[in-house]
Structure 1
């Protein structure tokens, strides 16, 4: 399990995901309303770092 939180453009939230899940989420990017992911550590411990993932 990865201690991260992933939010998709279509407002789905995934927390403490498997090691395969990030790859699956990135590969589905490109569909209508599903063009990016926001990834951050979970729990953030008061310090929030967000990373935007986009293809290309």
Structure 2
């Protein structure tokens, strides 16, 4: 069965190969851009770590 992810992995030259070489330029089907992921994680770390740093 073809799904967006199997097409992503299997179509030559595979998008998966492009993703491994330049992950910032390729978005996995039904995924989020790496820059959006980074911003979300950075925001979470700041929310967790800033209160700890200010309490010292």
TM tier relative to shorter chain? under 0.3
Between Structure 1 and Structure 2, whose CA radius of gyration is higher? 2
**Relative contact order: is structure 1 or structure 2 higher (C-alpha 8 Å, sep ≥ 6)?**
1
Higher strand share: 1
Tell me the TM-score normalised to structure 1 length. 0.27
Tell me the TM-score normalised to structure 2 length. 0.27
